[in-house]
């Protein structure tokens, strides 16, 4: 079990590979190259969102408002696309990030500044964001034909067989990996989540990190909001409804500890991929939509149980021979 805990990402990757092979045996169309790339493309938004959620969970928090932020920001930029002149795609991207960041900052200030529990704050803002979409959109939806040409075209641009959404997700993942593993602030995020009291003695103030991580999660949600609306060509109040739970599930499957301080970028990406494969495979296997939800739920539960068992009480390495063995295993 200790090997499993130390090599969680490898195990998860193997499980996903086995799963793809098994599905391929049943529905060969699923493992054709374009189809597999399609899974990556389709899961790209989940990759990004799960990384944003991971940063929050690392600080012992949770952001239930990410999907609602995505939908609200998506609606706001869609309205800009509808009523404004044709802007370059980069302008929409920057605008969406800023709007989402602003909403996330609101969460962060309520949580870090006023000390209200994250679950309460983000449950509240979830409702507010969803309600706001109806208010500002006047209850209508914005359709593809109304959005503007560059607005809509960007997510469909392709490079090496993958869409721009995937490449943006990859860029977010690389930046996140650098941020978490190589910067002082990234190290601080692990520390305040791993032991807030010890971190405080080291001069790391939890509250400041809370403001930061909810802003990051918000910025990513906002970026995904534009990409989502532009990709699917519609903005309305129920976009990504319930998706917050899929995002959190990706993190948990990927080995992010709800207790804080534990989680990696590759793990989270694999967690999201695990869900992406299931969600994409089931329809090709002609499973009924009702069964699809139950099966993906069961698969998530199974992954979480395996993770929890690997995480339970690692033994201390006190015996000299145990230390040597661990040193060998670590390479």
The residues of the shown chain that bind another protein, judged by CB under 8 A, are: 178, 182-184, 187-188, 190-191, 194-195, 197-205, 257, 261-262, 314-318, 320, 323-324, 326-327, 330
- Residue 180: name the closest of 172, 205, 145 by CA: 172
Provide the H-helix boundaries in the chain. 2-6, 8-26, 33-58, 66-83, 89-108, 118-137, 149-153, 164-182, 184-194, 196-201, 206-232, 243-253, 265-284, 289-311, 320-330
CA distances to 114, 199, 204 from 209, rounded to whole Å, are: 14, 11, 8
State the Cα angle at 10 between 45 and 39, rounded to 5°.
30
- The nearest distance, CB 203 to another protein, in angstroms, is 3
Residue with tokens 């493992």: 31
Question: Is 81 within 8 Å of 144 (Cβ atoms)?
Answer: no
Q: Give the nearer residue to another protein in terms of CB position, either 136 or 202.
A: 202
Q: Give the nearer residue to another protein in terms of CB position, either 48 or 192.
A: 192
Q: Give the nearer residue to another protein in terms of CB position, either 137 or 261.
A: 261
SS3 162: strand
- The nearest distance, CB 191 to another protein, in angstroms, is 5
- The nearest distance, CB 235 to another protein, in angstroms, is 36
What's phi and psi for 125, nearest 5 deg? -70, -30
Q: Give the nearer residue to another protein in terms of CB position, either 16 or 317.
A: 317
**What is the distance of C-alpha 23 from the center of its chain?**
25
Q: Give the nearer residue to another protein in terms of CB position, either 144 or 262.
A: 262
- The nearest distance, CB 329 to another protein, in angstroms, is 8
Q: Give the nearer residue to another protein in terms of CB position, either 61 or 155.
A: 61
Question: Is 200 within 8 Å of 45 (Cβ atoms)?
Answer: no
Whole-number Å distance between alpha carbons of 183 and 203: 16
Whole-number Å distance between alpha carbons of 102 and 37: 33
Q: Give the nearer residue to another protein in terms of CB position, either 60 or 130.
A: 60
The two most distant CA atoms of the chain are separated, in Å, by 70
Encoding tokens for residue 290? 């009702």
Residue with tokens 């962060």: 108
- The nearest distance, CB 7 to another protein, in angstroms, is 14
- The nearest distance, CB 266 to another protein, in angstroms, is 16
- The nearest distance, CB 256 to another protein, in angstroms, is 11
Q: Give the nearer residue to another protein in terms of CB position, either 167 or 179.
A: 179
Q: Give the nearer residue to another protein in terms of CB position, either 11 or 199.
A: 199
- The nearest distance, CB 326 to another protein, in angstroms, is 4
SS3 234: strand
- The nearest distance, CB 6 to another protein, in angstroms, is 9
Cβ neighbours of residue 120 under 8 Å, at least 6 residues apart? none
């Amino acid at each position: 079990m200790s090997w499993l805990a130390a090599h969680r990402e490898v195990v998860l990757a193997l499980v996903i590979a086995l799963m793809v092979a098994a599905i391929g045996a049943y529905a060969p169309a699923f493992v054709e190259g374009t189809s597999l790339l399609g899974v990556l493309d389709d899961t790209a938004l989940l990759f990004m969102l799960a990384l944003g959620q991971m940063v929050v969970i690392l600080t012992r928090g949770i952001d239930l408002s990410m999907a609602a932020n995505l939908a609200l920001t998506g609606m706001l930029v869609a309205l800009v696309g509808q009523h404004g002149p044709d802007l370059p795609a980069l302008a929409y991207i920057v605008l969406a990030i800023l709007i989402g960041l602003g909403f996330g900052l609101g969460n962060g200030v309520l949580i870090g500044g006023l000390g209200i529990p994250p679950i309460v704050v983000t449950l509240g803002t979830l409702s507010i964001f969803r309600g706001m979409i109806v208010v500002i959109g006047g209850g209508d939806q914005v359709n593809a034909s109304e959005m503007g040409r560059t607005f809509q075209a960007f997510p469909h641009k392709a490079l090496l067989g993958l869409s721009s959404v995937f490449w943006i997700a990859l860029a977010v993942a690389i930046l996140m990996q650098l941020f978490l593993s190589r910067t002082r602030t990234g190290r601080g995020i692990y520390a305040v989540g791993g032991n807030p009291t010890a971190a405080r003695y080291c001069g790391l103030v939890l509250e400041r990190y809370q403001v930061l991580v909810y802003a990051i999660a918000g910025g990513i949600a906002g970026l995904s909001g534009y990409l989502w609306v532009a990709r699917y060509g519609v903005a309305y109040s129920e976009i990504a409804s319930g998706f917050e739970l899929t995002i959190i599930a990706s993190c948990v499957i990927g080995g992010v500890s709800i207790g804080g301080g534990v989680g990696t970028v590759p793990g989270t990406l694999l967690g999201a991929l695990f869900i992406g494969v299931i969600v994409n495979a089931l329809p090709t296997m002609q499973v009924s939509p009702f069964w699809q939800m139950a099966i993906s739920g069961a698969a998530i539960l199974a992954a979480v149980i395996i993770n929890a068992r690997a995480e339970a009480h690692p033994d201390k390495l006190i015996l000299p021979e145990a230390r040597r063995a661990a040193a060998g295993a670590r390479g």
